Amino acid sequence: MSRGLYIHVPFCVKKCRYCDFFSEARPTLAESYVRSVIRNVSALKERFETVYFGGGTPSLLSAEQIGRIISSADIESGAEISMEINPGTADEKYFREIKASGVDRISFGIQSFDSRELSALGRIHTAEEAVSAVLSAKKAGFENISGDIMLAVPYQTRETLRKTVEKAVSLPLTHISAYMLKVEKGTPLAEDEELLKKLPSEDETADMYLETAELLEKHGFEQYEISNFAKRGYECRHNLKYWHCEEYQGIGPSAHGFTDGERYFCGDSTEEFISKPLQGKIPEGKGGEAEERAMLALRLTKEGIPVTMFPQLERRSEMLIKSGLAKLDGGYLRLTPKGCLVSNEVIIYVLGN
């Protein structure tokens, strides 16, 4: 099976208040960065069946630069080529150009359609720009369009979230990622005491998640992973590689990869990435062992894990099923939406001695 290819684009107009990913506002480095990506991709000498441009804000690269990177890789016919887009950085002309370059799946960082929530998160786009971007991408010929929305953000209520979800499902999206906000140490949000007071309570957050899952399912978006919902046939093939413990190469500052049973990451210096003939790979340890495969597979709500995978699982699954946290289907244990809310605890219970 061919590997996936992840390319981290480390540029942003500005960092959002909640973001702890590596990114910086240094657009003057873009061309040097692109050349380094091409050097590294060309040196891999292998074929890929998925490509994912993440960030950062990949849409700060020109369509011509995106096209040159794609052309440098050996990509299978019918491959999925995904690209993250900030709604405030692209128009219909850009969408037509990146589609011509080979991108066939785009993922918009919408997060919310409520202006106060977007402002609290530090997003650079408006709700109107997000709607316009999705419609422009559709008009440009994209069929595989995803949108991210965030749950439990400052000022959010069950009503404002419901309006965001209803707006999302009214648009020509085929995939929706619904993530619960995690306040990361060192981010501006974590240090803003006033904004932290505006976060929903744990009980409210739980209700938001369950209601969102129910509403998305009602509109034809099947939940296939804890935070991901898709219309049939539009699951993200690249991200499924992560959850299936399949191998992938990571290119770019702070990118992670998994090859030959070993996980690695790259240093978070754009200058170092640009200056070196080839990027360094810092070992993270072995990957793909049974416990890790089970942990990741349990996130896949349509797949799950066989109850015969571990000696203790059949007995422990009974409690999970009685508690409404999991269900048994065809010999596979799968999390319910209620179980997804406490997935970490369920995974610890399942894998514990």
* pLDDT tens digits, one per residue of 22-54: 888 888 999 999 999 999 999 999 999 999 999
Strands 332-335 vs 305-306: parallel, antiparallel or unpaired = antiparallel
Q: Quote the CA–CA distance of 131 and 337 in Å, as a whole number.
A: 28
Q: How many CB atoms lie within 10 A of CB 149?
A: 23
Q: Does 161 lie in the same domain as 65?
A: yes
Q: Is residue 73 part of a domain?
A: yes
Q: How many domains in the chain?
A: 2
- Do residues 155 and 233 share a domain? yes
State residue 353's pLDDT score.
Answer: 64
The confidence score (pLDDT) of residue 75 equals 97
% of the chain with per-residue pLDDT over 90: 89
Question: Whole-model pTM above 0.75?
Answer: yes
The residue out of 210, 242, 274 marking a domain boundary is: 242
Mean pLDDT of 67-87: 97
**Does a structural domain hold residue 275?**
no
Tokens 């107009």 — which residue? 13
Q: How high is the pLDDT of residue 314? A: 85
Helices then strands, counting H and E runs in the chain, come out as: 14, 15
Work out the average pLDDT over 120-133.
96
**180-187 average pLDDT score:** 94
Contact predicate 147/108, CB 8 Å: yes
Residue type, 275: S
Q: What is the mean pLDDT of residues 192-218?
A: 96
Residues 217 and 347 placed together within one structural domain of the fold? no
Q: Which pLDDT tens digit goes with each residue over 241-258?
A: 999 999 999 999 999 999
Segment 190-204, tens digit of pLDDT: 999 999 999 999 999
Q: Residue 300 contacts by C-beta under 8 Å, 6 or more apart in sequence?
A: 224, 225, 240, 243, 334
Residue 352, pLDDT > 90, answer no
* 217 and 80 in a common domain: yes
State the Cα torsion 224-227-233-239 to the nearest 10°: -100
Residue where a domain stops, chosen among 202, 227, 242? 242
Is residue 281 included in any domain, yes or no?
no
- Whether 14 maps to a domain, the answer reads yes
Domain range for 296 is 290-351
List, for residues 279-295, the tens digit of each pLDDT value.
999 999 999 998 999 99
Q: Could you tell me if 322 and 196 lie in one domain?
A: no
Task: Answer whether 78's CB lies under 8 Å from 110's CB.
Answer: no
For the chain, the average pLDDT equals 95
Compute how many other C-beta atoms are within 10 angstroms of the C-beta atom of residue 23: 24
Is position 265 within any domain? no
How would you classify residue 308: left for phi > 0, otherwise alpha for psi between -120 and 50, otherwise beta? alpha
**What CATH code is carried by the domain that includes residue 92?**
3.20.20.70
Looking at the domain assignment, is residue 8 inside a domain? yes
Q: Are residues 193 and 307 in the same domain?
A: no
Does 218 lie in the same domain as 299? no
Domain boundary among 242, 272, 298: 242
Q: Are residues 302 and 184 in the same domain?
A: no
